[in-house]
Structure 1
Amino acid sequence: MATTPEHDARIAKMTFSSIYPHYVNKIEKKGRSVDELHRVIHWLTGFDEKKLNELITQKVTFEEFFAKAQLNPNAHLIKGVICGYRIEEIETPLTKQARYLDKLVDELAKGRKMEKILRANP
C-alpha cells in the first residue's frame, strides 16, 4: 500500500511533542518504562536524553526531528506492517523513518525483548 503525498505531508508537519505522549501512554499501559522508550528512540535516532527533551521542548516537526537524527545503520532491518502500511514498501524516506519509530514503539508495547527490538542479532 503506497502512501499519498497528502499523507506524507501530514507526517512531515506533525510535531514530535504531540505524538510523544501517545508513545509514553502506549508503552506504560503495557508495563514498559519511559527509559525503555528512550533507549529505543536513542537506538533509532542517536538522540540522548538531553537532546530528546530539547527537541520535545522546541516542538520540532517530524521532518525536523528526523533531519537532525543519525539513523541507525540497522534501521533497514525494521520490517512489517504498521498503521496499515508495509514499512518495506514505503518510498518516502521521512514517512518510512516515522513508521520505523512507530513500529519500534509497537514492538516495545507488545513485550518484545529489547535485543530483538534493537536488532542486536541481524
Structure 2
Amino acid sequence: MEKINITEKLRTFDKFWQSKLIGEYNGRPLKIIKLKGDFEWHHHKDEDEMLLVLKGQMTIEFQEDTLVLGEGDLFIIPCNTPHKLVAPQEVNILMIEPKTTLNTENHLSRRPVRPEEPM
C-alpha cells in the first residue's frame, strides 16, 4: 500500500496530452494528464471514458452539444460517442479507462497519446 499525492505527481512533468500512469484500480489504469489546446475528434468503440477535472476548465465538444467542465467536475463519455477535448488554458485531469483503450482508435492520430510506465 502506498499513498499517491496527485499534486506532487503533476509537478514531475510538463508535457501536454501525455498520460502518466499513477496506479491501478480493479485492473483499470489511473492516469493523470495535462491538457492545453485541443485534441482531434475521436471516439472509443467499446469503452467509456471517465474524466475528473482536478485543476482548470475544459470543454468537451460533441456533434450537437458542448459541455464545460471545471474543477471537481466528473463526466463519463459513453462509448462510441464522437468527441473533442478543448482546453484554452492548462487543465489537469484524472482519467480512468480500460487498459485496452486507444485514445484515437477510429483513425491515425496527428497527436498519438500513449500511457507511460508507472511514475
> TM bucket by the smaller chain?
under 0.3
Q: TM-score, normalised by structure 1?
A: 0.24
Q: Higher helix share goes to which structure?
A: 1
Q: Higher strand share goes to which structure?
A: 2
Q: TM-score, normalised by structure 2?
A: 0.25
